[in-house]
Each structure stands twice: as C-alpha cells, then as structure tokens.
Amino acid sequence: MLAVYANTKGFPRDELFGLVSQMRRAAVSVPANIAEGFKRRGIREKIPFYNIVEGSLEELKYYFILAQDLHYLESNHDLLAQAETAGRLLNGLIESTAARL
C-alpha cells in the first residue's frame, strides 16, 4: 500500500494528524498483520491476524471514498482496485489457512 503514502503527500497540511495519519496507519497495518500472523506457529493463531487485516482494508477503502468526497483525491478508482485485489488475495490466504485446521 505504498500508493497511500504517495497519494497522501498532497493532502492539506491540516490533515497531517487526521486523515493522512489514519490512512497511513491502516495501510501499514495490512502487511504488518499479515507478517505477524504468518509467523505464528499455530494455525488457529494465524487467522485472527488475518481478520484484523480485513478490517484495516475496509477502513482504508472508506478513507479512499472520504478523501475523494473531500476533493483530496481526483480519483480513488486505482486505490480501491488495489484494495479489492488485496482483499481477494487475503481471502484466499484465510481460506487456505482455515482448510489446514
């Protein structure tokens, strides 16, 4: 989700500790929780981390919509498409992990 950093650089300065911070935290949460869940030894321990990622992705999608509504982004289509792709990949990871239970 490096695109989040690139896209939020142009946001108004007064959003630095608001929307920019929230978007970047949600974006960082996605790979960080995948990595943490992956490293867990027990299969049952992995899935809660992947569920957190699902929440972070949904949060991020909302922020993309909000940012466009506030006219901070010209278009959110590419960002939403990337989030959707990440969500599909994540769903496959969760399903394959759950199938190993």
pLDDT at 1: 75
**Is position 12 within any domain?**
no
pLDDT exceeds 80 at position 21: yes
pLDDT exceeds 90 at position 5: yes
Domain count, the chain: 1
Q: Which two tokens stand for residue 55?
A: 């929440």
**Is position 29 within any domain?**
yes
CATH number, residue 46? 1.20.1440.60
DSSP conformational letter for 42: S
Q: Which two tokens stand for residue 99?
A: 């199938």
Question: How many Cβ atoms sit within 10 Å of the Cβ of residue 72?
Answer: 20
**Is position 72 within any domain?**
yes
Going by pLDDT thresholds of 50, 70 and 90, the confidence category of residue 98 is very high
Q: Which tens digit of pLDDT belongs to each residue from 33-42?
A: 999 999 999 9
**Is position 67 within any domain?**
yes
**Is position 62 within any domain?**
yes
Q: Is 81 exposed, middle or buried (0-12, 13-18, 19+ CB in 10 A)?
A: exposed
For residue 78, the enclosing domain spans: 2-7+17-99
**Is position 92 within any domain?**
yes
